[in-house]
Amino acid sequence: MQNQQGQMHQNMHTGAVPQQMNHGGHEVFDVHEVLTGSLGTLSQYMILRQYVKDQELMSILDRQYQFIQDEYNLLVECFKTGQDPSKRTESYNMTQDNDFIYGLTPTQPKKPMQSVSEITDECVSGLMLSAVKSMASMKTMAACEVTNPVVRRVIAATVPNCIEMAYELSIYQNKHHYYQVPQLAQQDMQQLLNAFETAQGMPQMPNNKMMQ
């Protein structure tokens, strides 16, 4: 035991850290938060499933659940070992088109539910959307703190998947008029679209006076 502690002490001072210990302090806390968040999302999906009525939403929920679980397993594996996981990270692909319906139609004002019997597909898809958007933010922040190159790559590779899942859910909600997308007046839109121009050529950078 003393020899192991002595070797670890020597390694920490020489920089030869064992592969499974190749993690920074911030990284460990952030990865724990990401994994806990993934478990929370999976639990939420499982709880919500019993309230789903639309088969399309059921298909989205099951497909996203399986994908999130697979990503969770990959991150646990490489976090424990510090090495490449046994499988490559994959890209999540939604099965529907990306056409949005623009404009607002009259709807009833929202209010808190009074009973679980009021849970609808609109509510379920909204909670799913909030969960994956939260995962996207959490993973992006965590990837900036990771020192282990494998763990950083795995987390960074899963961020676009969270974005794709959120996009899929927002399209589903939009198609069913749960999520409406207003647009600006054409004149205002045109002005904002043309508010920027691309840069031309290389700028003349000022000299660094500190180097003179």
* Residue-wise pLDDT tens digits, 99-113: 889 998 888 888 999
What mean pLDDT is reported for the chain? 88
Domain of residue 55 covers 19-97+117-195
What proportion of the chain, given as a percentage, has pLDDT over 90? Answer: 64
* Residue-wise pLDDT tens digits, 188-212: 999 999 999 999 888 888 887 766 5
**pLDDT given at position 9:** 44
User: Which structure tokens are listed for 157?
Assistant: 């590779």
**pLDDT given at position 20:** 56
- Residue 122 in contact with residue 176, Cβ under 8 Å? yes
* Residue 102 within a domain: no
**pLDDT given at position 158:** 96
* Residue 10 within a domain: no
* Residue 1 within a domain: no
Amino acid identity for residue 32 in this structure: H
* Residue-wise pLDDT tens digits, 13-41: 445 555 556 776 778 889 999 999 999 99
pLDDT tops 50 at residue 7: no
**pLDDT given at position 11:** 44
Q: How far apart are the first and last CA of the chain?
A: 56
* Residue 183 within a domain: yes
Q: Is 159 exposed, middle or buried (0-12, 13-18, 19+ CB in 10 A)?
A: middle
Number of independent structural domains in the chain:
1
* Residue-wise pLDDT tens digits, 128-165: 999 999 999 999 999 998 889 999 999 999 999 999 99
What is the domain-level CATH number for residue 132? 1.20.1260.10
* Residue 189 within a domain: yes
DSSP the chain: -HHHHHHHHHHHHHT---GGG---HHHHHHHHHHHHHHHHHHHHHHHHHTT---HHHHHHHHHHHHHHHHHHHHHHHHHHHSS--SS-------SS--PPPBB----PPP---SSGGG--HHHHHHHHHHHHHHHHHHHHHHHTT--SHHHHHHHHHHHHHHHHHHHHHHHHHHHTTSS-B----HHHHHHHHTS-----S---PPP-GGG-
* Residue 8 within a domain: no
* Residue 154 within a domain: yes
* Residue 105 within a domain: no
| Average pLDDT of the residues in 86-106 | 88
- Residue 118 in contact with residue 39, Cβ under 8 Å? no
- CA pair distance 174, 7, nearest whole angstrom: 59
| Average pLDDT of the residues in 88-93 | 92
User: Which structure tokens are listed for 207?
Assistant: 């000299």
